Amino acid sequence: MDALDLARWQFGVTTVYHFIFVPLTIGLAPMVAIMQTVWFRTGDERWLRATKFFGKLFLINFAIGVVTGIVQEFQFGMNWSEYSRFVGDVFGAPLALEGLAAFFLESTFIGAWIFGWDRLPKKLHLASIWLAAIGVNLSAFFILAANSFMQHPVGVEYNAETGRAELTSIGALLSNNTVLWAFPHQITAAFMTAACFVAGIAGWWMVKARHQAQVDSHTRHEKVELYRPVFRFACVVLLVAGVGAAVTGDGQAKLMYQQQPMKMAAAEGLCETEEGAGFSLFAIGNPGDGHCDVQTFAIPGVYSFMATGDFNATVPGVNQLQAEYSEKYGDGQDYVPNLAVTYWNFRAMILFGVLGAALGVVGLWVTRKGRNPGRWFGRLALIAIPGPFLANLTGWVFTEMGRQPWVVAPNPDGDWTIRMLTQDGVSTVGPWSVGISLVTFTLLYGSLAIAWFGLIRRYAAAGAPGIEEAPDHDDDADRPLSFAY
Amino acid sequence: MELVTFWFILITVLWIGYLVLEGFDFGVGMLLPILGRNDTDRRVMINTIAPIWDGNEVWLIVAGGATFAAFPEWYATLFSGFYLPLLLILVGLIIRGVAFEYRGTIEGDRWRNLWDTAIVVGSTLPALLWGVAFANIVRGVPIDADKQFTGTLFTLLNPYGLLGGLTTLLLFAFHGALFLGLRTEGEIRARAIALAAKLSVPAIGVAVVFALWTQLAYGKAWTWGVVVVAAVALLTAAYGAFREREALGFGSTVLATASAVVLLFGCLFPDVMPSSTNELFSLTIHNASSTHYTLVVMTWAACFLTPVVILYQSWTYWVFWHRIGATKIPPGHGLPWSTPEAEASYR
């Protein structure tokens, strides 16, 4: 493997890994903030216990999300320095804004929230978790604005003298229609992830508490009453976010058809241009081997509808697009992304998303009008948790791999000269250096993932903590810390 | 003033913010096994920085992002050229960040010792390597006409670079010891101040040699003033440590760290990365910068956001500014390492 392959693997490994934690952080911060708000307004201690329980799980997750984020920023300079030279004038701005406007906010107020229990006034403490939640979501916006530039460059022009892309309008960059669709899609997906996580754990506990033979009936009732409202709240969030993700995903598909028709055709494994093209549910055989007879189970007309809103529309296939791209951007380059990867990841994203959302529907149904589900449901709730995580991961692999061979995909309606092939963006660093860092990060991230999973499992299984009496505020200077590492 | 000059100054300010703030939390991390004789001591030490270290680290992310936005060529050449040292810095920052959050989650000596090691290693590596990196930036590295770094890892391991690393290492340890003196009470405070006094001697010795070398080899007339400020600050810090006036001492190491950054960036200006291959290939604030438009946009953002950030960060320092001692540390609240009950509860 050369430095390009290694750098691509490293980008993939570090980004996918970082992205296990990020959607959960984005969704869970506001959900914990809502739990605390309910407690603040009603004084109902069950919500305080839920806040502390899911707050702890949130922090275990947040820690890894933060530290792996630094790698993402450094990596552009370390592995993709030619890309950084080409687009730094444009791409650096949203990254710097993310730091200034979002990272400071979240890191500072997370600290204030963790150590502010019983030290800050209740209102200010509640404001801290909300500010942290806003910061987390704001940072998603800036990073998606940066990514959307790579998918669909706008607000920029090519300077032949310096040989680089230069920013002409920050407003256009931040209101890129690609980010305006990608942001709500990502946020709803993140809320699905967090809601499924909360619903899974609360649902498991709700069932378990009812069947705990060793606890007396009073404790049992109390525990069921603790987890049940949290579970139903998470199911509602999951359902609303699921609908939101489907609607925004549809909007994104139509936009992708206009902006990156090759990615859309690859997602469908559509080799030849077709009128009223069907949506392929699954294929037998490998959609990547160049044959077009793999679409065995397709719903007629649906792909055309997804792309254009018309069931009978003619949509271009991979082969026609390859010919068009060759004419436009130069011969001798394969413009087709890896078809098997794009085809299967697109399907996996939809499948895992639907499976995750199903927990919300089933959960609300089995708990309707005060009913309680049987033991089977506890298992099911746990099994559902990975669904949205996998939907997020496969969705991103699809988005990023579907853009290949471009690192900056050309904007078909804009300035075509703003484009860069991935192979041209890589640093002139020796393969040894990249290889060493790829191995280092893979091993380090692997061990941290084991610690993360072990802790989440342990703390989830320990259940919501009891509530201690709030300490007296008179002797503020001498009393022990309410929370300490 | 030209915008590129403004951005050079702003990036200097961001590095001052980063190294002054994370400098002391690196120091606390490095001193963990030296000052922390038992687990309670170590918990006292970690709790002095626990609410703020994450916010401190964001200064680095913003300094990196600002360099990317304002001087993309500098960002590209520096980050790809200093590949392996940066890798080690990243590994350090990752393991220490996770360690702060995870060490208390499980009650068990093996678990805590593992993360304590991560804190020490993760604090020492960056404290040493930032000095090596900055010294090499000032010294100049081989850069060709295409703005590419053409050296190897060993290019960076020269006597001046290593002296720079030793300087930041000792300076941050000294800075951290004074911070602990200021933020703790009881026995651990006394020990921290005594250690600060001991550390002041080698720290000042190495820093003086490094500052003079920097000034004589790369300095300008006005940077002599900075050298003097740094020297006075360091001597005052030592005085503060020996007289147990830790507030004076800590304030002085803040000033000393800030003047060290000003000295290095002052020597650099108007270059951002001089080339040792040929002066003509040097990256300067002019040939490494973004366009005027990008700088204008970023200037507006920085002027609005930076004061707000400084305001709320200062607020958290103020809220959590109370001395911590062994008596204020509540019992550990982690889960047991593993018990039959815990295992059974999964089923």
**CB contact at 8 A, A471 and A118:** yes
Which of the 8 DSSP states describes residue A100? I
| Cβ of residue A170 closer than 8 Å to a chain B Cβ | yes
Hunting for tokens 């949290």 — which residue is that?
Answer: A230
Distance CA B91, CA B86 (A): 9
Name the closest residue on chain B to residue A114, using Cα atoms: B51
What are the angstrom distances between the C-alpha of A138 and each of A102, A111, A147, A194, A322? Answer: 6, 18, 14, 17, 37
Which of the 8 DSSP states describes residue A70? H
**CB contact at 8 A, A454 and B105:** no
| Contact criterion met (CB < 8 Å) for B102 and A111 | no
Residues 6+ apart with CB under 8 A from B320: A115, A119, B51, B52
| Cβ of residue B296 closer than 8 Å to a chain A Cβ | no
| Contact criterion met (CB < 8 Å) for B342 and A461 | yes
Question: How confident is the model over A303-351, as pLDDT tens digits?
Answer: 888 888 888 888 888 888 888 888 888 888 888 888 888 888 998 999 9
Q: Which amino acid is at A206?
A: M
Contact list in A for residue B68 (CB cut-off 8 A) is 73, 76-77, 84, 88, 91-92, 95-96
| Cβ of residue A450 closer than 8 Å to a chain B Cβ | no
Contact list in B for residue A107 (CB cut-off 8 A) is 54-55, 57-58
Contact list in B for residue A481 (CB cut-off 8 A) is 47, 324, 328-330
* Residue B129: closest CA among B79, B88, B77, B81: B88
Distance CA B173, CA A333 (A): 55
Q: What is the ipTM of this complex?
A: 0.91
Distance from the A125 Cα atom to the nearest Cα atom in chain B, whole angstroms: 12
DSSP string, A151-185: HS--SEEEETTTTEEEES-HHHHHT-HHHHHHHHH
Kind plus residue range of the DSSP H or E element containing A282: strand A279-282
pLDDT, averaged across chain A: 88
Q: What pLDDT shows up at residue A129?
A: 96
| Cβ of residue B86 closer than 8 Å to a chain A Cβ | yes
Residues 6+ apart with CB under 8 A from B110: B337
| Cβ of residue A470 closer than 8 Å to a chain B Cβ | no
**CB contact at 8 A, A397 and A16:** yes
Distance CA B163, CA B182 (A): 28
* Residue A139: closest CA among A105, A92, A167: A105
Which class for A296: exposed (0-12), middle (13-18), buried (19 or more C-beta within 10 A)? exposed
| Cβ of residue A28 closer than 8 Å to a chain B Cβ | no
| Contact criterion met (CB < 8 Å) for A107 and B58 | yes
Residue A454, token pair as written in the block: 């072990």
- The reply to whether omega before A465 is within 30° of 0 (cis) is no
Residue from B94, B143, B148, B324 to probe the interface with A (highest A Cβ count within 10 Å): B94
Distance CA A482, CA A50 (A): 18
Distance from the B24 Cα atom to the nearest Cα atom in chain A, whole angstroms: 17
Residue A181, token pair as written in the block: 């669709």
pLDDT-derived band at A369, boundaries 50, 70, 90? confident
DSSP string, B277-300: S-GGG-EETTTT---HHHHHHHHH
Q: What pLDDT shows up at residue A219?
A: 65
Report whether pLDDT(A476) > 60.
no
| Cβ of residue A14 closer than 8 Å to a chain B Cβ | no
| Contact criterion met (CB < 8 Å) for A480 and B83 | no
Distance from the A452 Cα atom to the nearest Cα atom in chain B, whole angstroms: 9
Residue A220, token pair as written in the block: 């049992």
DSSP string, A61-90: HHHHHHHHHHHHHHHHHHH-HHHHHHHHHH
**CB contact at 8 A, B198 and B216:** no
What are the angstrom distances between the C-alpha of A461 and each of A469, B340, B343? Answer: 24, 13, 9
* Residue B183: closest CA among B238, B124, B246: B246
**CB atoms < 10 A from the CB of B255, how many?**
18
Distance CA B122, CA B101 (A): 14
- Which candidate from B47, B55, B64 shows the least CB-CB separation from A74? B64
Phi-psi region of A369 (alpha: psi -120 to 50; beta: other; left: phi over 0): left
Task: Supply the range of the domain harboring residue B271.
Answer: 3-344
Residue from A108, A159, A452 to probe the interface with B (highest B Cβ count within 10 Å): A108
Distance from the B210 Cα atom to the nearest Cα atom in chain A, whole angstroms: 28
pLDDT-derived band at A294, boundaries 50, 70, 90? low
Of all residues in chain A, what percent carry a pLDDT higher than 90? 53
Phi-psi region of A66 (alpha: psi -120 to 50; beta: other; left: phi over 0): alpha
| Contact criterion met (CB < 8 Å) for A92 and B84 | no
- In this structure, what are the phi and psi dihedrals at residue A282, rounded to the nearest 5 degrees? -155, 160
Q: Which amino acid is at B330?
A: P
| Contact criterion met (CB < 8 Å) for A448 and B98 | yes
Contact list in B for residue A479 (CB cut-off 8 A) is 328
Residue B217, token pair as written in the block: 């080899």
- Which candidate from A74, A100, A120 shows the least CB-CB separation from B305? A100
| Cβ of residue A71 closer than 8 Å to a chain B Cβ | yes
| Cβ of residue B121 closer than 8 Å to a chain A Cβ | no
| Cβ of residue B47 closer than 8 Å to a chain A Cβ | yes
pLDDT-derived band at A352, boundaries 50, 70, 90? very high
**CB contact at 8 A, A428 and B148:** yes
Contact list in A for residue B328 (CB cut-off 8 A) is 478-481, 484
Residues 6+ apart with CB under 8 A from B43: A484, A485, B104, B329, B332
Q: Which parts of chain B have pLDDT scores under 70? A: 338-347
- Which candidate from B64, B69, B335 shows the least CB-CB separation from A93? B69
Report whether pLDDT(A268) > 90.
no
Question: How confident is the model over B126-143, as pLDDT tens digits?
Answer: 999 999 999 999 999 999
Report whether pLDDT(A467) > 80.
no
Q: Which amino acid is at A194?
A: A
Name the closest residue on chain A to residue B330, using Cα atoms: A480
Distance CA B284, CA B7 (A): 12
Nearest 10 degrees: Cα torsion B22, B26, B27, B33? 150
Hunting for tokens 């699921």 — which residue is that?
Answer: A242
**CB contact at 8 A, A355 and A384:** yes
Which of the 8 DSSP states describes residue A289? G
Number of domains in chain B: 1
Hunting for tokens 């984020």 — which residue is that?
Answer: A69
| Cβ of residue A167 closer than 8 Å to a chain B Cβ | yes
Report whether pLDDT(A447) > 60.
yes
| Contact criterion met (CB < 8 Å) for B69 and A92 | yes
Phi-psi region of A468 (alpha: psi -120 to 50; beta: other; left: phi over 0): beta
What are the angstrom distances between the C-alpha of B127 and each of A147, B123, B132, B134? Answer: 32, 6, 9, 12
Question: How confident is the model over A386-418, as pLDDT tens digits?
Answer: 999 999 999 999 999 999 899 999 888 888 888
Residue A131, token pair as written in the block: 């500010």
Distance from the A414 Cα atom to the nearest Cα atom in chain B, whole angstroms: 20
What are the angstrom distances between the C-alpha of A233 and each of A206, A371, B264? Answer: 13, 15, 55
Residue A414, token pair as written in the block: 């804009």
Question: How confident is the model over A335-344, as pLDDT tens digits?
Answer: 888 888 888 8
Q: What pLDDT shows up at residue B131?
A: 96
| Contact criterion met (CB < 8 Å) for B72 and A433 | no
- Tally A–B CB contacts below 8 A: 243
End-to-end CA distance of chain A: 44
Hunting for tokens 């996918």 — which residue is that?
Answer: A16
Question: How confident is the model over A226-255, as pLDDT tens digits?
Answer: 899 999 999 999 999 999 999 999 999 889
Angle between helices A45-79 and A217-259 (to 10 degrees): 30
Report whether pLDDT(A284) > 80.
no
**CB atoms < 10 A from the CB of A76, how many?**
27
Q: Which amino acid is at A158?
A: Y
Report whether pLDDT(A116) > 80.
yes
Contact list in A for residue B79 (CB cut-off 8 A) is 74, 76-78, 81, 84
- Which candidate from B62, B98, B342 shows the least CB-CB separation from A67? B98
Distance CA A265, CA B233 (A): 66
Distance CA B138, CA B136 (A): 5
| Contact criterion met (CB < 8 Å) for B57 and A112 | no
Q: What pLDDT shows up at residue B176?
A: 96
Residue A205, token pair as written in the block: 């506990």
pTM of the model: 0.92
Q: Which of residues 251-290 of B touch A (CB under 8 A)?
A: 290
- Which candidate from B58, B84, B322 shows the least CB-CB separation from A99? B58
Residue A239, token pair as written in the block: 């359902």
| Cβ of residue B69 closer than 8 Å to a chain A Cβ | yes
CA A279 to chain centre: 25
**CB atoms < 10 A from the CB of A357, how many?**
26
Distance from the B85 Cα atom to the nearest Cα atom in chain A, whole angstroms: 11
Q: Which amino acid is at B291?
A: T
Q: What pLDDT shows up at residue A465?
A: 83
Q: Which amino acid is at A254?
A: K
Report the residue count for chain A.
485
Distance from the A80 Cα atom to the nearest Cα atom in chain B, whole angstroms: 8
| Cβ of residue B88 closer than 8 Å to a chain A Cβ | no
| Cβ of residue B106 closer than 8 Å to a chain A Cβ | yes
**CB atoms < 10 A from the CB of B332, how many?**
18
Half-sphere exposure of B138 (CA within 13 A, CB side): 29
CA B153 to chain centre: 22
